[in-house]
């Protein structure tokens, strides 16, 4: 396979010197043709598996059978897959016909996917290093397959990677040697309190205390309502709502509130690479603290759950004392950027060399790949 960087800039450079073929004659194809402007003149064919579309045209470009690829020189042909679904199937179909350069429209036109893809491709040596550290074969299989799909396809069906009977933040491996007792949990990225209810239902009376970290004003209001609700339940731990963003430093910084996807809101400094996605966002100032400054010296933290939209690396650095002293179980999201897939496992292993590390994926799409650590 000829792998190339999947960015619009690289597409434009290659399109100037290669024959371009699009695979998929539908709305996504139209959208891509509109995006590339004058480079539509470089598109020789549009491929489609539906024989009823053969012989037609789109923007004057012939729609033909995919078999025509076999008559084209792979080293001089750039194939762009332009469909909403079945990306993997079409990708593999093209691979089966020759060693063509393949790009995916869903990556090319996205604000973040090209950056993630390129980062993963350029850091294969660090990914191999992490793979050797993983606890079980299931972790290695999930880890490599998630990275492959994000690097090649951007987003597709990940549901086959979900392990049956395992739920986010509480997989059995974390408790394979010792059952919960006097649990003190740091819920970093508490949002509206869904995980609060999950932890109470899971741990019952063994849950002693939970710190809920959330900095968004709207989410804090919802979280406080959730806290009021669960305090009427059978098992009620000590609940502390902590209205701070987490990092490796303290102060005040800008926070991006994404209007159409509030759960993806984040510190500006954690995702500077995604500025193109901010056009419908608001900016607010939030207080930033470190876990080490907020958690008392004598608190025995047993679990840290962390899903804070790309700030995980800095927040872990800001929890160095707590992590090295208590060696709590960790449940950390690693999917927010390309570098998090390798730098987060390497960081926790550096902090606590005896940590065992597992990787699990919990959703049908590309989000919710988590790292689990325990001693």
Supply angle C-alpha 351, 167, 141, rounded to 5.
65
Residues 104, 170, single domain; the answer is no
Q: Which two tokens stand for residue 212?
A: 């809920």
Question: In this structure, is residue 301 part of a structural domain?
Answer: yes
Return per-residue pLDDT of the chain as tens, 375 residues: 678 889 999 999 999 999 999 999 999 999 999 999 999 999 999 999 999 999 999 999 999 999 999 999 999 999 999 999 899 999 999 999 999 999 999 999 998 899 999 999 999 999 999 999 999 999 999 999 999 999 999 989 999 999 998 999 989 999 988 888 999 999 999 989 999 999 999 999 999 999 999 988 888 889 999 999 988 888 889 999 999 999 999 998 876 755 455 445 455 555 555 455 444 556 778 889 999 999 999 999 999 999 998 899 999 999 999 999 999 999 999 999 999 999 999 999 999 999 999 999 999 999 999 999 999
137-152 and 340-351 helices, crossing angle to 10°: 150
Strands across the sheet containing 281-289: 245-246, 281-289, 251-258, 266-267
Which of 70, 91, 109 marks a domain boundary? 109
Tell me the CA distances in angstroms from 280 to 8, 76, 277, 283, 308, one per residue in order: 22, 40, 8, 10, 20
Cα distance between residue 121 and residue 9, in whole Å: 17
Question: In this structure, is residue 144 part of a structural domain?
Answer: no
Question: In this structure, is residue 133 part of a structural domain?
Answer: no
Question: Is 137:129 a contact under the CB 8 Å cutoff?
Answer: no
Question: In this structure, is residue 156 part of a structural domain?
Answer: no
Question: In this structure, is residue 116 part of a structural domain?
Answer: no
- Domains: count for the chain: 2
Query: Could you tell me the CATH number of the domain that includes residue 241?
Result: 3.40.50.150
Q: Domain span at residue 223?
A: 164-374
Residues 98, 188, single domain; the answer is no
Cα distance between residue 143 and residue 369, in whole Å: 9
Residues 102, 174, single domain; the answer is no
Question: In this structure, is residue 204 part of a structural domain?
Answer: yes
Strands across the sheet containing 19-23: 57-58, 61-64, 43-47, 19-23, 77-81, 101-104
Question: In this structure, is residue 365 part of a structural domain?
Answer: yes
Selection from 146, 116, 153 nearest residue 339 by Cα? 116
Residues 96, 169, single domain; the answer is no
Question: In this structure, is residue 120 part of a structural domain?
Answer: no
Question: Is 168:331 a contact under the CB 8 Å cutoff?
Answer: yes
Which of 68, 87, 109 marks a domain boundary? 109
This prediction has a pTM of: 0.90
């Amino acid at each position: 396979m000829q792998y190339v960087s999947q960015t619009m800039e690289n597409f434009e450079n290659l399109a100037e010197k290669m024959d371009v073929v699009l695979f998929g004659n539908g709305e996504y194809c139209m959208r891509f043709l509109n995006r590339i402007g004058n480079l539509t003149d470089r598109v020789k064919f549009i491929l489609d598996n539906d024989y009823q579309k053969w012989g037609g045209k789109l923007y004057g470009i012939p729609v033909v059978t995919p078999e025509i690829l076999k008559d084209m020189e792979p080293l001089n042909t750039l194939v762009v897959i332009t469909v909403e679904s079945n990306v993997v199937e079409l990708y593999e179909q093209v691979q089966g016909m020759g060693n063509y350069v393949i790009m995916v429209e869903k990556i090319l036109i996205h604000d973040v996917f090209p950056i993630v893809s390129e980062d993963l491709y350029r850091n294969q040596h660090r990914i191999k290093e992490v793979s050797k550290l993983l606890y079980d074969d299931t972790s290695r299989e999930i880890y490599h397959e998630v990275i492959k799909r994000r690097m090649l396809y951007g987003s597709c069906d990940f549901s086959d990677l979900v392990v049956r009977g395992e739920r986010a933040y509480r997989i059995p491996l974390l408790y394979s040697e010792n059952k919960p007792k006097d649990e003190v949990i740091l819920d970093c990225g508490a949002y509206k309190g869904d995980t609060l209810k999950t932890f109470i239902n899971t741990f019952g009376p063994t849950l002693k205390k939970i710190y809920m970290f959330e900095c968004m004003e709207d989410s804090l209001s919802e979280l406080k309502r959730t806290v009021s609700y669960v305090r009427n339940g059978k098992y009620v731990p000590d609940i502390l709502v902590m209205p701070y963003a987490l990092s490796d430093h303290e102060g005040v910084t800008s926070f991006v509130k994404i209007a159409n996807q509030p759960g993806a809101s984040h510190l500006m400094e954690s995702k500077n690479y995604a500025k193109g996605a901010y056009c419908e966002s608001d900016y607010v100032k939030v207080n930033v603290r470190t876990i080490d400054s907020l958690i008392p010296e004598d608190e025995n933290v047993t679990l840290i759950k962390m899903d804070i939209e790309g700030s995980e690396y800095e927040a872990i650095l800001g929890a160095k004392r707590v992590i090295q002293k208590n060696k709590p179980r960790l449940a950390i999201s690693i999917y927010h950027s390309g570098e998090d897939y390798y730098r987060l496992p390497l960081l926790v292993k550096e902090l606590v060399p005896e940590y065992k590390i597992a990787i699990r994926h919990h959703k049908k799409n590309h989000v919710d790949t988590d790292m689990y650590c325990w001693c």
